[in-house]
Structure 1
């Protein structure tokens, strides 16, 4: 079996940043409140903490998500509403908040989303990042019946979608925080 683009490690490693007129503690209080993510996420409609103390390491969040038909429209993606579960892997108030996506069998996946925040002269710098080391079972299922050229096209288009999602998320978070 020849190597495929989906065998690259990391498969995705992206980040984006924005300046926010608020303290790192104020920014952290918002971004670590995952049930509020519908206010800023292009896909997550919010959700609920299902185990553990909310927003602490080890807590598990069940998110409700919605993907439109237009997102990488040609690819065999989940459309409409679906649910995910993620476990908090870093929670340092005023500094870092990260969560790892879990498989349907509740196993860790190398798919980690997060925020880092640091003080600046005028407020905070918020960095939103995503890293997928090895391709998840979901990515492998999406590309299973694609030839290598289609796999490359999918990874390139998905990378562009993720980059856009990071930017949109940051702009919306900035709006949420600065309007309060």
Structure 2
């Protein structure tokens, strides 16, 4: 697990990888299944394709509907910017030229299975995270640090979910979503081994004791 950057302008990144006991072609079916993403996230509620698309392809667009107790509900449009089965799958959130965030999966054969790597980078687009930082410039590093911990946790949960699906003995998807350690609001959820997620709560809760200041801010859309 690696993280870089202390300020939004640094375009901070976070990444992790895992080995999966399944061939890349098998892992790819889960990595590229955009409509499977909500089952891997505590925040992403649904995904729908745009422009008549029914599956992933270079240039295809999809809308993600998100929800959390701090930001309310919002949608973002993502553009698939790299699509090379079964090796690379990447998308940019909002404007591909100045995205709110970039996300990428890479796969390569290793030891009879697959080494799956996930990477993401914030900015440089003026997302609502950037707007929040503009309102609280003295807390920028704290906001970015917490946000990146959340993103780290999200990636860990996603990789574990894909590994479980790809290694399922019956080669079928287990029914229902895999418990997501990122959502501490839902009963029965346990804290993750590594503390954080793409929780896109974006550092709002821990900015102070109870952080009443952040709770009162007008809802913003995380990446």
Please classify the TM superposition score into its range, dividing by the shorter chain length: 0.7 to 0.9
* Offset from partner CA, 1:33-75 (integer Å, 9 cap, x none): 1011122233222311112642101100111222344xxxxxx
Deviation of residue 113 (structure 1)? 0.6
- Choose between structure 1 and 2 for higher RCO, CA contacts under 8 A separated by at least 6 residues: 1
* Offset from partner CA, 1:125-180 (integer Å, 9 cap, x none): 111110124253322212121032x1111011111111111111111111122223
Which residue of 2 is the match for residue 72 of structure 1?
Answer: none
Contact 1:29 1:93 in 2 (8 A): no
The secondary structure found in structure 2 opposite 1:134 is coil
CA RMSD of superposed structures (Å): 2.1
Contact 1:52 1:60 in 2 (8 A): no
Report which of the two has the higher share of strand. 1
Query: 4+ residue stretches of structure 1 with deviation over 4 A?
Result: none
Give matches, 1:145-164, under 5 Å. Answer: 145-148=135-138, 150-164=139-153
Q: How many pairs were matched up?
A: 163
Which residue of 1 is the match for residue 221 of structure 2?
Answer: none
TM-score (norm 1): 0.81
Matched, 1:22 2:22: yes
The secondary structure found in structure 2 opposite 1:113 is strand
Distance 1:18 1:68 in 2: 31
Give matches, 1:1-180, under 5 Å. Answer: 5-8=7-10, 11-51=11-51, 53=53, 54-69=55-70, 78=71, 80-103=72-95, 108-109=98-99, 111-148=101-138, 150-179=139-168, 180=172
Contact 1:42 1:169 in 2 (8 A): no
Deviation of residue 5 (structure 1)? 3.0
Distance 1:107 1:67 in 2: 27
What stretches of structure 1 of length at least 5 have no aligned partner? 70-77
Which residue of 1 is the match for residue 200 of structure 2?
Answer: none
Q: Flag the 1:176–1:39 CA change in 2: closer, same or farther, 3 A.
A: farther
Which residue of 2 is the match for residue 75 of structure 1?
Answer: none
TM-score (norm 2): 0.67
